Structure 1
Amino acid sequence: MDANFAKYGRWIHTLFETSYARQLFPCFDEPKFRSAFKLQLWLYAEYAKPSYTALSNTNGIPYKFNENLTIWTFNDTPSLPTYLFTIAIGKFDHYCCSSELDMDQNICIWKLVNVENHLWYNVADKVCDQASIFQANTENYVGINTGARLHFLIIPTYLNGMENFGLLIVSERLWPRENNKYSYIAFEKTLKHEMAHQFFGNLVTMEWWNDIWLSESLTCFLALPKLHQHRYDMDLSEDSIIDKRWAEKIPRIVYVKGAAVLSMLENVIEPSNMRLLLQVYLSRYYFQSASTKNFVEILKQVTRDFREEAPEFLMSWLTQGSYPLVFINYDQNNQQFILSQTPKVGDISRRWLIPIWIDCAGGTVNETLYWIPKHSDLVIKLDEVTKTNQTAAITFNNNRIVYYGIVYKYVTE
């Protein structure tokens, strides 16, 4: 803060996640409780000068009471969890552009400035374009509007970003350098993540922090490019995605493994049904809190007629740490594949319901989804998956996203 004070002068901003709002005002500071905020800020002395701007979740209007007092009055917020409420005061410059989604809704970027400098506007214009496109595509995908304005606050902060309702924060160290595509890519990754939080986290909030995956994992799934391969081999954690300890610190697996599990779920139930699942979830719990149980109940409804294994599959991956290694053995005498599983690390009794896609490269049999049971091996006859009578014609998980390793132990002819 000292170095930034020399650069920007006096400024403040709040960061209330997970449970720090109670230090500013009395409240039920838990994610399942929501409140509408009516804010008025009285800024005295130095902060009353016109060079200072006050920001919050909604638009504010300043009233200069006298030389030493400026009163900022903000529009009421919708019902929010306390950790998404925010206040920022400083010498901010801003750049706004019209949203392609709603010409009456400006996208605005706020940034601390120490001298008048319009060079950052060129970068801000490109950021506005990307934000507008992502917002339009996301709203089209989920079929719902959050009702939040698209304002971004670029400030020095140790976090990459924070999804405060109506005033999304992105760290200044990520701000793109003009004509440097790699810095744009890094910034855009965080920008889209925080924008996706408007739907998962802000619009629908987890009831408690053990279900933080409903915010972070779903956000990563929505915001990140779909990968064909996740680095599951780097995961040596024994922690599960759902855990009451995440009220203290959110682990990396919630972001990485959680998004991978959701990508597997999308493969299992098909993209159109994944989209339907998320649309129903958001519309049913619009400006409310939800739990894993609520999400799984909707999943049951969406998949009951064609993929009844999906809820059990999802829960087996959310509630257990580590990941499975799948052993594929080929019995030449009986001409059959035998698939078994064991955990990579930790409790050897852990078992998952594992989807595996088997395809015949020769095209004699269409790709088929099989399930490796929790407590027994999966046995598949060779002639069930290919008519070529050759094991070399078989492929496993071709262009499918999975979060487990495969160990091949069969002999090809």
Structure 2
Amino acid sequence: MMITNDLTKEQAETRKDQIENIKYQITLYLNKTDLEYEGNTIINFNYKNTTNRTLRIDFITTNIKSLKVNGHLISNYKKYDYWIYIPVSELNIGPNNIQIDYINKYDNTGSGFHRFVDSEDNEVYIHSDFEPYDAHLLFPCFDQPDLKAKYKLTVTGPKDWQFIHNTEIQTESIDGNFKTIIFKNTELFSTYIFALVVGPHEVWEDSYNNIPLKIYCRKSLAKHLDPKNLFEMTKESFQFLENYFDIPYPYKKYDQIFVPEFNFGAMENVACVTFTEHYIFRSKQLYSEYLSRSNTIFHEMVHMWFGNLVTMKWWNDLWLNESFADYLSYYAMSKGKLFPDAFEFQFSRKEWAYMQDQLSTTHPIVGSAEDTADAFSNFDGISYAKGSAVLKQLTYYIGEDKFRDGIRLYLKKFYENNTVLEDFLMCMSETSGIDMVEWSKKWLETTGVNTLKFNLDKDQCYIEQMPSETNHKIRDHAIMYETYDEKDGKISIVESNKIIISSAKTDVNISSSSKFTLLNAQDHDYVKIHFRDEELNFIYNNLKNINDRFTQRIIWGNLWQMVRDNTLSAIWFLNLVEKYSDIEMDSTVLQEQMLQKTMSIKSFYLINDYRELWSNKLYNLAYKNLEKNQNDQFQISWFNLLLSCAESDTGLNDLKAILNGELVFDNLTIDQEKRWNIVSKLCAYGDSDYENLIITETENDPGDLGDKRAFMCRVSIPDLQMKNQYWEMFTQKKQNHSSKYLTYGMSGFFWYKQNELLSKYVEKFFDDIINIYKNKDVHYSSNFSHILFPSIMNVEEMLNKTELFIDQNDDLPKLCKKSLIENKDHLKRRIKILNSQKQTTTDTDMEVLI
């Protein structure tokens, strides 16, 4: 059995019974040039009398210089790759301390203690990132969420660096070119939200009431940061959340740091939140990108209470952190002035949940995490987007005030403690007057998404509830419905009401004379809606006359789910886009609900003949609309479609003319990101001038971001010898580049245009995938499996090869097996849709495929 860097739930429970009252004293020595650093950690704790023979300390290190237990050097400990085992014969019942001096290497994976050198100015930046199980890459610790501790950190490093931690600086002294920072003692919290960020950052300061606020980023990106907007979002989230929770912010400061090569969107370290630099916008973005960034800021703020102050006991209850942060961030934004339309974008986010919940690897919101590898895999659309949607359903089910009161009771009752599902249910039951246990069994402890359909049987109206394919569960749903009529070309709502659906067939008192009935209006439920043929005809003929933007989103979103479920022809959807995109008045609906889905259909859900036909039609549609010179939000959306569909000689020549400034559209700025996207496409399609194209953009975009995009372009070039070299880079055990750099390259490897050239990489993928998971960190392995799975190849052949590989390898690493099973599920879904198209005869087929 392969030993992996994972902690099991059983091991964590054993250690929880051994120790308590933990405090860490951590001292670190850092400089600009070395690839290693020195550390000293003293762990103070109380040891309880147990039958265990050893105490396990989690720690990955290059070299242990010395180890003392209660002041005495010992040598009878055992050090393995990931842990230290201390004989309990060396421990006292009651207070103990263990002191470890060590030398360690920096990480280049984005996690642990990640070191980055900015190629634009050669400045060094280092940040920590530990969730779920990486604190022991920086210091020896008991790395599990229910062993909360207090921390005392001392750091010595270059005097021109900023040193940012979970608490404020207590003292600072300078000796030559170095300074020593002693931080104040922290509050009580888990190891995975400990943080240290260092480097010569630019800093901006503000305050909310008596709370100091700071924002940091590296020097070379400072000119792109918009601190005024970021502080405004931060203050709005503070104002709402302190009032909503009825608990003052529990920490002394609030720092937000944008760090390079980050693996996630952000991380909720106590009072020291780290963000991906993707949120530093170097050019004009779509509205949805600004809202998404704001949502992340709100999300991490929610975590200061949900996750940091009150923390799940073990990773199976990850939802107690993430589902609440996901839902309450959208809820808080919807109550504010900056993004009051936030719930419309939560609706789009649910697509992640629907996709994840229909895979054979889905899991209940309350998951089962046997170890930290399971914990990592549960950072998915279920723990975030589905949990968020189900909490929105609960709010509608019991009422906003009762839900809020349950939240307040939960946070106050378990202040600075760890919790499990039953703790939350108890609080919600008390404030709502409803037994939440049964509700939880249906919603939190089962998998799958239900589908609702409005039916007419003569004059009888009823709602049919269909279970998911996997568990056949019927749930109680609280939904709003709206009925519509059409008169003189105008569409109006005739009736609107809240109803409870609790069986497979629910009779409803809805007028049978209405032209259209929308179930789950305003999107209070986690459910899919399938439309009848008559409703589809109404949509096709009247969608432009439905003025409410959220209603339009809901209709488009459910049509998309029908396409994915193979109950609606992808061609029908494309025809609807072609009919209405020209006259769509809202750029966000156009981008998220129409064009984004259109590009997905073109890439995955069209047989080859249709793909070529629709690429040309959509290219022409995009070009025609770009010539209308609408505002920049429309222009960016249409440009993205143009770029995606530029596959003919005409399209590629147009792209080059746009790049060279020979073809110009009003209100469309061809910024550096768009320039790189054009060059990537030209390289992938074999432009003979690729070298000059890449050199020019590298000169225009000095620094690591330009380096990464240039690497992606080079990997895109259809040259088999070059592809072989890059594949070796991706798969070699020794990693000379950062994981993020290599991930950029992976994104340029496979192109539909190159499927014949790259056919041999089907076998190479399966030859290498197991070793990737054995030798690389979980982030890199996940990216490799997702990005380099050869989905551009023949779908049925890929399905056969994937199934055979899984069957022939019983000992696959668990995360590897999960990824392959999910890829297999995606292929099966595509095959159903593609086979349906093969049965039709023209691209204008309007038939609904039942």
TM-score with structure 2 setting the length: 0.42
Could you list the runs of 5+ residues in structure 1 that have no partner in the other structure? none
Find the aligned partners of 1:26 and 1:233 in 2 and give their Cα distance: 40
User: Structure 1 407/112 Cα, relative in aligned 2: closer, same or farther at 3 Å?
Assistant: closer
* Aligned AA (2:117): N
**How far is the alpha carbon of 1:212 from its aligned partner?**
0.8
CA distance in 1, matches of 2:456, 2:283: 56
Matched, 1:406 2:529: yes
Note the C-alpha offset of 1:331.
4.0
Structure 1 residues 7-22: aligned runs within 5 Å = 7=120, 8-22=122-136
Q: What per-residue deviation string (whole Å, max 9, x for no partner) do you get for residues 130-153 of structure 1? A: 211221122122221232221111
User: Are 1:151 and 2:251 an aligned pair?
Assistant: no
Structure 2 residue runs without a partner (length 5+): 1-107, 109-114, 331-341, 486-492, 536-850
Of 214, 218, 226, the match for 1:112: 218
Q: What pairs up with 1:61-140 in 2 under 5 angstroms?
A: 61-64=170-173, 66-67=175-176, 69-99=178-208, 102=209, 104-113=210-219, 119=223, 123-140=226-243
Counterpart residue type for residue 29 of structure 1? D
Deviation at 1:169, TM superposition (A): 0.4
- Structure 2 vs 1, CA of residues 313 and 390 (structure 1 numbering), >3 Å: closer, same or farther? farther
The residue matched to 1:337 in structure 2 has which SS?
strand
Q: 1:208 maps to which residue?
A: 314
**Secondary structure in structure 2 of the residue aligned to 1:38:** strand
CA offset digits 1:140-167 (Å, max 9, x no partner): 2222123222111111023211110010
Single out whichever of 185-194 and 273-282 deviates more from structure 2.
185-194
Task: Look up the match of 2:665.
Answer: none
Change (3 A) 1:329 1:33: same
User: Superposed, which structure 2 residues align to 1:24-43 within 5 Å?
Assistant: 24-41=138-155, 43=156
Shift of 1:278: 1.5
Higher relative contact order (CA 8 A, sep 6+): 1
The answer for the alignment partner of 1:303 in structure 2 is 432
Would the aligned equivalents of 2:409 and 2:427 in 1 still touch at CA under 8 Å? yes
3-state SS, counterpart of residue 367 of structure 1 = strand
Given the alignment, which residue of 340, 354, 363 partners 1:239? 363
Letter in 2 for 1:244: S
The 2-side partners of 1:118 and 1:361 are apart by 51
Aligned with residue 339 of structure 1, among 464, 476, 483: 464
CA distance in 1, matches of 2:213, 2:414: 26
| Alignment partners' CA distance in 2, 1:30 and 1:133 | 33
Structure 2 letter corresponding to 1:204: V
* 1:260 Cα deviation after fit: 0.8
Aligned pairs (5 A) from 1:226-305:
226-227=343-344, 229=347, 230-231=350-351, 234-235=355-356, 236-237=358-359, 238-245=362-369, 246-249=374-377, 250-304=379-433
Separation (CA, whole Å) in 2 of partners of 1:207 and 1:275: 22
Letter of the structure 2 residue corresponding to residue 16 of structure 1: F
Provide the C-alpha distance between the structure 1 equivalents of 2:498 and 2:233, rounded to a whole number of angstroms: 38
Displacement after TM superposition at 1:71 (Å): 1.9
Structure 1 residues 411 and 25: alpha-carbon distance in aligned structure 2, compared to 1, 3 A threshold? closer
Q: Counterpart of 1:241 in structure 2: which amino acid?
A: I
Q: Does 1:193 align with 2:299?
A: yes
Change (3 A) 1:177 1:274: farther
Please name the residue that 1:371 is paired with: 501
- Residue 58, structure 1, aligned to residue 167, structure 2: yes
1:356 and 1:201 mapped to 2: Cα distance? 30
Deviations 1:54-109 (A, max 9, x none): 2210111453363265321101111011111111221122110122xx1x322101
The alpha-carbon deviation at position 13 of structure 1 amounts to 1.6
Structure showing greater Rg: 2
3-state SS of paired residue (2:295): helix
What secondary structure is seen at the aligned counterpart in 2 of 1:19? coil
2:275 counterpart residue number: 170
Rounded to whole Å, the distance in 2 between the matches of 1:178 and 1:303 is 47
Report if aligned partners of 1:95, 1:124 keep a CA contact under 8 Å in 2. yes
- TM normalised by structure 1 equals 0.82
Distance in structure 1 (CA, Å) of the matches to 2:164 and 2:516? 62
Instruction: Give the alignment partner of residue 6 of structure 1, picking from 103, 112, 119.
Output: 119
The structural deviation recorded for 1:9 is 2.2
Tell me the equivalent position of 1:219.
Answer: 325
Selected match of 1:318 from 444, 452, 467: 444
Distance in 1 of aligned mates of 2:235 and 2:412:
22
Cα distance in 2 for residues equivalent to 1:394 and 1:69: 70
Contact 1:360 1:367 in 2 (8 A): no
Q: Which amino acid aligns with 1:315?
A: K
Residues 346 and 180 of structure 1: CA distance in aligned 2, closer, same or farther (over 3 Å):
closer
Taking only aligned residues, the RMSD between alpha carbons, in angstroms, comes to 3.2
> Which residue identity is paired with 2:238?
Q
Residue identity (%): 22
Q: Distance in 2 between matches of 1:126 and 1:357?
A: 35
- AA at the equivalent of 1:71: T
Look up the equivalent residue of 2:424 and give its one-letter code.
Answer: F
1:336 positional shift: 5.7
- In structure 2, relative to structure 1, the CA distance for the partners of 1:311 and 1:354 (3 Å cut) is farther
Q: Is the 8 A contact 2:484 2:514 kept in 1?
A: no
Q: Any residues of structure 2 matched to 1:384-399 within 5 Å, and which?
A: 385=509, 390=513, 396-399=519-522
With over 3 angstroms needed to count, the CA separation of the structure-2 counterparts of 1:82 and 1:404, relative to structure 1, is: same
Structure 2 CA distance, aligned partners of 1:119 and 1:336? 60
Amino acid aligned to 1:159 = F
Q: 1:271-298, CA deviations, whole angstroms, 9 ceiling, x for partnerless residues?
A: 2222212122212112211111111111
Aligned mates of 1:120, 1:63 — CA distance in 2: 31
Question: What one-letter code is carried by the residue in structure 2 that aligns with 1:141?
Answer: Y
Q: Distance in 2 between matches of 1:206 and 1:97?
A: 32
Would you say the 8 A contact 2:306–2:324 is kept in 1? yes
| Larger fraction in strand | 1
**Paired residues of 2:215 and 2:255 also in contact (CA < 8 A):** yes
CA distance in 2, matches of 1:70, 1:15: 24
Q: Distance in 2 between matches of 1:267 and 1:391?
A: 26
